[in-house]
């Protein structure tokens, strides 16, 4: 029982994929201009992680060692395409925002990293839990990052205006635009990594 | 735990082949299942965009034309109500956006006056260029009800009549470029007589 909880929660802070393992930084920095984008990307990745961890754990004794990486990639790419198709059909608006980054989940090192480090050595149930935990940690990281950038850069959270910034003569809030641009992503990420280090070193 | 199969040539080829075959089958199944839903969602999005820029209509006449400038054709949606033309929605584009190509929809009434505009897809900077989208700011409302015959579709900095978005002149210029391309191609056709 303990190991299940441990597998589930280690991804949140102790082994957080973004803040501690520093994996998957391309989508992390690219899509987190708002909290909702971060959450959407995180949940899409969580789904892929769980499904790929499950399937890879199922077929781990079927694949010869020398071709395991191509086999993992095929499995991961299939699930990403499934997510892409489902989002196009049912979540058009979010798909329009995340567009380019959904296919990039294929090459997100978290997914392949967990397949290689965990799912290919553990049973199906543990692998699903590991995928869920890591995925939620990734979602949490992206949502926090996106939320901070959205508050500072657009003066809103989840699209709801907060009215914390002074307004110009046309009524538009004067925000710190740098935070929705690429440099802002690095600045916020740096601080968040430092905070996570502090928490983990206790 | 059962023993892993050895990495012999036959083992590798056959087992990888089975995995790829299974993955292909799953993908084919999902593709067929979602094909209609995706087509319907795309159609709905397009019709919503058309509905935003022209008055209520019952039939659409769709055709494409090559603009005088630019690399790609643009699509015209002539909206008819009870067989009379109420407006033309034009899906136009610009290559001059801050992050490359973006697409907008412009609606003209039969006299060539802009009814409304809407952004179809863009990659402009969040917080700056994306203010051209109506959901972010009402910047683009200034185009409504203007006749490009007398209204110069360039930003004030370039001697035109359009107020640029603060700190996003390039996106504003590109928006004007797309609108202008729609108008010129629309006029080239000579109003609503031939084709």
Give the ipTM of the model, two decimals please.
Answer: 0.70
Stretch A149-164: mean pLDDT: 82
Residues of A with CB under 8 A from a CB of B: 33-34, 59-67, 70-71, 74-75, 77-78, 81-82, 85-86, 88-90, 92, 96, 153-154, 168, 172, 175, 177, 180-181
Which chain A residue's Cα is nearest to B126?
Answer: A180
Contact between chains at B38 and A89 (C-beta distance less than 8 A): yes
Distance CA B80, CA B163 (A): 33
Distance CA A90, CA B37 (A): 8
A99-130 pLDDT per residue, tens: 777 888 887 888 888 888 888 888 888 899 99
Q: Show residues of chain A in contact with B137, CB under 8 Å.
A: 172
Does the residue B99 lie in any domain?
yes
Contact between chains at B137 and A172 (C-beta distance less than 8 A): yes
| 3-state SS, residue B116 | strand
Question: A198: distance to nearest CA of chain B, Å?
Answer: 32
B111 burial level (CB within 10 Å; 0-12, 13-18, 19+): exposed
Q: Considering its fold, how many domains does chain B have in total? A: 1
pTM (2 d.p.): 0.75
Does the residue B102 lie in any domain?
yes
Yes or no: say if A173 and A166 are a contact pair by the CB < 8 Å rule: yes
Does the residue B100 lie in any domain?
yes
Q: Show residues of chain A in contact with B3, CB under 8 Å.
A: 61
A7-41 pLDDT per residue, tens: 788 888 788 888 888 888 888 888 888 888 888 88
A66-96 pLDDT per residue, tens: 888 888 899 999 999 998 888 888 887 778 7
- Domain range enclosing B174: 54-188
pLDDT of residue B194: 41
Render the burial of B87-99: b for 16+ CB within 10 Å, e for the rest: bbbbbbbbebbbe
Which chain A residue's Cα is nearest to B20?
Answer: A74
């Amino acid at each position: 029982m303990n190991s299940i909880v441990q597998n589930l929660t280690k991804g949140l802070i102790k082994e957080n994929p973004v803040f501690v393992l520093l994996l998957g930084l391309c989508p992390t920095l690219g899509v987190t201009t708002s909290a909702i984008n971060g959450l959407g990307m995180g949940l899409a990745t969580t789904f892929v992680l769980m499904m790929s961890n499950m399937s890879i754990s199922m077929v781990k004794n079927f694949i010869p060692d020398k071709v395991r990486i191509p086999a993992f990639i095929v499995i991961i790419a299939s699930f990403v395409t499934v997510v892409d198709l489902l989002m196009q059909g049912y979540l058009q608006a979010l798909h329009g925002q995340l567009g380019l980054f959904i296919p990039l989940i294929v090459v997100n090192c978290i997914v392949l990293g967990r397949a290689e480090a965990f799912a290919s050595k553990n049973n199906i149930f543990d692998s699903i839990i590991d995928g869920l935990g890591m995925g939620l940690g990734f979602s949490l990281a992206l949502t926090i990052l996106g939320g901070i950038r959205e508050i500072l850069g657009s003066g809103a959270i989840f699209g709801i205006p907060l009215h914390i910034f002074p307004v110009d003569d046309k009524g538009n809030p004067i925000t710190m635009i740098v935070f929705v641009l690429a440099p802002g992503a690095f600045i916020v990420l740096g601080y968040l990594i430092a905070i996570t280090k502090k928490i983990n070193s206790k | 735990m059962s023993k892993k199969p050895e990495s012999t040539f036959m083992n590798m080829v056959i087992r990888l082949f089975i995995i790829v075959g299974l993955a292909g089958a799953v993908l084919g199944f999902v593709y067929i299942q979602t094909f209609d839903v995706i087509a319907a969602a795309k159609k709905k999005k397009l019709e919503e965009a058309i509905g935003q820029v022209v008055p209520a209509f019952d039939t659409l006449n769709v055709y494409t034309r090559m603009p005088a400038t630019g690399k790609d054709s643009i699509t015209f949606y002539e909206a008819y109500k009870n067989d009379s033309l109420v407006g033309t929605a034009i899906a136009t584009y610009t290559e001059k956006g801050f992050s490359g190509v973006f697409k907008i929809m412009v609606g003209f009434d039969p006299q060539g006056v802009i009814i409304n505009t809407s952004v179809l897809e863009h990659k402009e900077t969040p917080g700056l260029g994306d203010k051209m989208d109506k959901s972010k700011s009402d910047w683009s409302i200034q185009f409504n009800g203007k006749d490009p015959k007398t209204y110069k579709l360039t930003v004030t900095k370039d001697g035109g009549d359009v107020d640029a978005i603060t700190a996003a002149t390039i996106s504003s210029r590109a928006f004007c470029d797309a609108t202008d391309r729609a108008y010129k191609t629309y006029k080239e056709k000579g109003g609503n007589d031939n084709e």
